[in-house]
Amino acid sequence: CSSGRASLKTAALTAVFKLKNQEAVEEGYVTLRCELSKSGVPVEWRKDAQLLKEGEKYQMKQEGRVAEMLIGHLSMADAGQYSCFVGTAETSADIKVRGGPTGGEGAAFHSAEEGDTASLSCELSKPGVSVQWKKNKLPLRASRKYEMKQDGCVCQLDIRELRPEDRGSYSCHAGTAETTAVLSVIGQSFR
């Protein structure tokens, strides 16, 4: 070495942290989250080695060191191995899809945008029956967030100012009868 400075260039290595296996309900949704060791790197999503493209079925976003893919309107054909690729690094997860819950007429799938109001309804066989609404099996109470109405044989739950944490399984219970709806909340960055 002469009297000058020595410099060393290193290649930026990017690692991806493990995706988690998940199970979801048919007609529901699942979100895969891939954490990266650095931000601003291109990410590819694949299912069983096939490259996935953004669209109605697959909604992809990347913010900082986090890449996410929402898979909506799940069917049995969506079960399989999903991978997040960053350069030569990769992580994979298995997604299992099971049939919708039983009770009533099965589960309905609803999606609404963040900030909007979602309205879920159930129809009773006779008016005046007491109804209990639940989210992920936990009872809901009327509040500024949740408005519950009953008009004859129709019961309605309005969920206001939707946020991502409002997604989940909502059920209407009347005696031993039950009907369920799966709510997906589409975030601002997915629009």
pLDDT in tens, 140-163: 999 999 999 988 888 899 999 999
The 10s digit of each residue's pLDDT in 14-32 is 556 678 888 877 677 888 8
pLDDT tens per residue across span 59-82: 999 988 888 998 888 888 888 999
Q: pLDDT band at residue 53, thresholds of 50, 70 and 90?
A: very high
Contact 13, 7 (CB under 8 A): no
If one counts every other C-beta atom within 10 angstroms of the C-beta of residue 159, the result is 23
For residue 152, how many other CB atoms are within 10 A of its CB?
10
Q: Structural domains in the chain?
A: 16-98 (2.60.40.10), 107-190 (2.60.40.10)
